[in-house]
Amino acid sequence: MGYDLDILISGGTVLTMSDGMNIVENCAIGISEGTIHFVETEEYLKTIDWQAKESIDATGSLILPGLVNTHTHLPMVCFRGLADDLPLMDWLNNYIFPAEARFVNREMVYYGSMLAIAEMLLSGTTTFCDGYFYESSVARAAIDAGIRSVSCQGFIDFPTTENPDPTNNILIGEAFADKWTGVSPLITPAFFCHAPYTCSPETLATIKDLARRRGFLYLTHLAETQEEITTIVDRFGKTPVRHLYDLGILDDRTVAVHCNWLDDEEIQILADCGTSVSHNPESSMKLAAGVAPIPKMLDAGVTVGLGTDGCASNNDLDLFTEMDTAAKIHKVTSMDPTVMDAQTVLRIATIDGAKVLGLHDRIGSVEVGKRADLVIVDMQKPHLTPCYNYYSHLVYAASGHDVSGVIIDGKIVVRDRILTTIDVDGVMERVREIAENIRKEHLT
Amino acid sequence: MGYDLDILISGGTVLTMSDGMNIVENCAIGISEGTIHFVETEEYLKTIDWQAKESIDATGSLILPGLVNTHTHLPMVCFRGLADDLPLMDWLNNYIFPAEARFVNREMVYYGSMLAIAEMLLSGTTTFCDGYFYESSVARAAIDAGIRSVSCQGFIDFPTTENPDPTNNILIGEAFADKWTGVSPLITPAFFCHAPYTCSPETLATIKDLARRRGFLYLTHLAETQEEITTIVDRFGKTPVRHLYDLGILDDRTVAVHCNWLDDEEIQILADCGTSVSHNPESSMKLAAGVAPIPKMLDAGVTVGLGTDGCASNNDLDLFTEMDTAAKIHKVTSMDPTVMDAQTVLRIATIDGAKVLGLHDRIGSVEVGKRADLVIVDMQKPHLTPCYNYYSHLVYAASGHDVSGVIIDGKIVVRDRILTTIDVDGVMERVREIAENIRKEHLT
């Protein structure tokens, strides 16, 4: 048997995150044309004919599937640290919404996204699911940087700089779908209705119909705050989850983001409908929005992925530290240290995140036939020594800074912590220029 | 005026953490004989005669006082990740206590401490307060590595490998005090009674008397778990705080560690007594021990410092990510995003931590006359771009990996992320050897 490989990774230990959670020590991973062809021990190399254009020695490192960030608003890196420690409505109405109305445009979205992608690649994220204005510019940045993206056209019932007339929503959705369907293996187009309190039942249902016709994923913020619950109950006489359920929106191609305020029956509704959840613990802690009942959701069989949310409410995109927080917040909230164990949390950040986004046939684990989205973590560091348990270290001790290499769709995008696809100094400079204008208007 | 400096730091921005929270842009900091002689702008250099043995260009960086870790058990790095996601008593009785009984000795304590110090220095901690067995070996490692330490002789009412006969406690305390008083400007000896449930009233009070006679700080774990409250109420008819108060132990030279379960009256008792608190949010979250009512303590005037606790329950020693968690956990617990703002949290991790340890006359802020314990943070990174607010970035976006340089007592101990005082590869190798024996016994 012969292999003409693009990349051979040898040495190191693979956490495959397969159903059997197989671990392969002294590994050999063969990649060609973006696909994983074998995941074996180094001994295997003696039994086959092979050549590789590039070899990576991963001795002393862990290799894992790239992390999946199921909820971002990438361009919001431009507002990182602009306004913190504020009540949610003050933050939104007096800082974020005015800044967005004034400064969001295609250029800001492209360069903000590129900066965010640089940060994500350097911290081991290989797939993100984003919703923002001018989402085509987010997708363009993703293609240019070589990262995998579920890019969501957003919908909301008030005029925006991108779409001054919300009655055009359906046309905009159709145009976005036409534009991005089948363009790149890296881009999966999808739709994002902002929330039940900013979208009418008609908008929510019409866009869901369009998503169904196009075979698209459908996302919405849901049950993020207690205020939202009150608002929707006042308006429709039922909670947000029941409101969406009655509209026929909850199915296995809908992702509900946040879900901090669910009762047991609502959890069961999500489970019965196959609706998955994007969990963003740090954002919801920082905004004092609430703590989602994730352990109960997992017990009920709801598929949960991890997300960072936008950088104005986190304020970083590091999924390693997000994993750490996800594990710890649920232990103390439920007063049970056994919930959200390290293996479960790493599954949520990899294969389960891929399931949330409907991409688990292609990514989320290191297995033969899947696309080669891999992260290499350097374990030869004081804070990762000694090592008894790989999962524990990744969740409780590592951070994105320990990532040494990243491969997406079979291309090396981070090598020895250097980005190969992004002029990071140039991008930082562009974003600083954008920020200088924001600073002048908002902080002086 | 002339200055013969050991180190001149120029460029960059100083967050002084002084009472006025002064910020100096384009700074010039002059250091000689371990002391800060000036904190000025670069213009100042033109007005004086000066020479410096070493110059550090900190352009594009922040300079802040070294972080203060008010609670550690350093040698527990040897148990990092040995046992996670377990009920507290299972974790303690079946993993930690047996491993300690079998493997704790002077060599393990020295090399474990050295590894922990390497991690702390690389993440910007310049002072720690530690309690463990064989604490003299911790202090020895601190001196060898050049880090500042409050090293606490521990006391507990059952036999340990270090002290098979607890009736010797007072002698051991005297000997420790004799050994370490005045030995090194880096070492402040102190006493640590483990907890009210493991130390009799006699032990607690006798050691406090000894601490008073020696002018030593006195620490104890206090009100960590609900079980502890129940135990002490059952045993003494009152809560742990009231128990210590009635024993006359609570004063302004006592530090209470954890304090997760305090009622409002107990908070007022601590405030009235001047007793300060070491807050370890990540450890208490991971162990599902509880969330300390820190915002209420701050409102009552209690001085609070930050700590990581030992690495078996965290599992790292990075005070930057601990700051992030400290801010977020209290926002969501109190459902108020305005509590624990970034400035407050950075104060807790610097000057307030120094106050907790009684060292604020020497460290905790960048001010003339204080010892030169400084951290340089490289801000030219994607995840720290753009920057509207320094405090926000340090608490919500930075991590210990962004530290580029560390100076302690006027000596450079980290330069361009390289440790100057520790053979880190050699230390990691020694700890791996120690861990191999632990692994054989506990995980096979």
Could B337 and A401 be called an inter-chain contact, meaning their C-beta atoms sit closer than 8 Å? no
Residue A387, helix vs strand vs coil: coil
pLDDT at A93: 86
Q: Give B84's DSSP letter.
A: -
Q: Do the chains contact at A288 and B435, CB–CB below 8 Å?
A: no
pLDDT value at residue A444? 61
Question: Mean per-residue pLDDT for A205-229?
Answer: 98
Interchain pair B119, A382: CB under 8 A: yes
Residue B139: its pLDDT value, please?
A: 98
Distance in Å from the first CA to the final CA of chain A: 68
Is the CB of residue A287 less than 8 Å away from at least one CB of chain B?
A: yes
Q: What is the pLDDT of residue A247?
A: 98
Sheet order of strands, A218-222 included: A67-72, A125-132, A148-155, A187-193, A218-222, A254-258, A276-279, A304-306
So what's the pLDDT on residue B240? 98
- Out of 2.30.40.10, 3.40.50.150, 2.40.50.140, 3.40.50.970, the CATH code matching A2-65+370-417 is 2.30.40.10
B285 contacts A329? CB cut-off 8 A = yes
Is residue A39 a contact partner of residue A275, using CB atoms and an 8 Å limit? no
Q: What DSSP letter does each residue of B37-59 carry, written as one string?
A: EEEEEGGGGGGSEEEEEEEEE-T
The whole-model pTM stands at 0.98
The arithmetic mean of pLDDT across residues A340-366, rounded, is 98
Report the chain A residue with the minimal C-alpha distance to residue B115. A382
Residue B142 corresponds to which amino acid?
Answer: A
In angstroms, what separates the C-alpha of A130 from chain B's closest C-alpha? 18
Write down the pLDDT at residue A1: 66
Separation of alpha carbons A25 and A59, rounded Å: 10
Residue of B77, B282, B327 lying closest to A328 (CB–CB):
B282
pLDDT of residue B442: 75
Residue A222 pLDDT more than 80? yes
* 3-state SS, one letter per residue, for B191-243: EEECCCCCCCHHHHHHHHHHHHHHCCCEEEEECCCHHHHHHHHHHHCCCHHHH
pLDDT-derived band at A291, boundaries 50, 70, 90: very high
- Domain range B2-65+372-417, its CATH number among 3.10.620.30, 3.40.50.720, 1.20.210.10, 2.30.40.10: 2.30.40.10
Q: How confident is the model at residue A92 (pLDDT cuts 50, 70, 90)?
A: confident
Chain B from 27 to 86: CB within 8 A of any A CB = 77-78, 80-82, 84-86
**Residue B84 CA neighbour count, 13 Å, CB half:** 34
The secondary structure of A38-81 as a DSSP string is EEEEGGGGGGSEEEEEEEEE-TTEEEEEPEEEEEE-GGGGGGTT
Which of B287, B333, B396, B424 is best to mutate for the A interface (most A CBs within 10 A)? B396
Q: Flag whether residue A103 sits within 8 Å of chain B, measured between CB atoms.
A: no
pLDDT at B1: 66
Q: What is the pLDDT of residue B441?
A: 83
Rg, chain A, Cα only: 21
Please report the residues numbered 292 through 311 in chain B whose beta carbons come closer than 8 angstroms to any beta carbon of chain A.
311
CA-nearest residue to A80 within chain B is B386
Minimum CA–CA partner of A292 in chain B: B332
ipTM of the complex: 0.97
Residues of chain B with CATH 2.30.40.10: 2-65+372-417
pLDDT, tens digit, 9 for 90 and up, residues A138-155:
999 999 999 999 999 999
Supply φ then ψ for residue A292, to 5 degrees.
Answer: -70, 140
Low-confidence residues of chain B, pLDDT below 70?
A: 1, 444
Taking CA atoms, A96 is separated from A68, A92, A260, A329, B312, in Å, by: 26, 5, 22, 27, 40
Place of tokens 């008073």: B212
Render A242-282 in DSSP notation, one character per residue.
HHHHHTT--STTEEEEE--S--HHHHHHHHHHT-EEEE-HH
SS3 B185: coil
Q: Cβ of B335 and A290 within 8 Å?
A: yes
Q: Indicate the average pLDDT of chain A.
A: 97
A177-202: per-residue pLDDT in tens? 999 999 999 999 999 999 999 999 99
* Mean per-residue pLDDT, A377-395: 98
Q: Which of A86, A224, A385, A393 to mutate to test the interface with B (most CBs of B within 10 A)?
A: A385
Q: So what's the pLDDT on residue A364?
A: 98
Cβ-nearest to B337 among A88, A328, A397: A88
- Of the candidates B100, B9, B6, B15, the one whose C-alpha atom is nearest the C-alpha of residue B349 is B15
The residues that bridge with A230 in the sheet, in sequence order, are: none
If you average pLDDT over residues A101-113, what whole number do you get? 96
Say if residues A119 and A156 touch (Cβ distance below 8 Å): no
The answer to whether A115 contacts B382, with C-beta atoms less than 8 Å apart, is yes
Region(s) of chain A under CATH 2.30.40.10: 2-65+370-417
pLDDT at A161: 83
* Identity of the amino acid at A116: A
Q: In this predicted structure, what is the pLDDT of residue B444?
A: 61
Which residue in A has a C-alpha nearest to residue B331's C-alpha? A288
Continuous segment of H or E residues that includes residue B116: helix B106-122
Q: Which CATH number fits domain B67-356: 2.60.40.1080, 3.20.20.140, 2.130.10.10, 3.40.50.11710?
A: 3.20.20.140
pLDDT score, position B341: 98
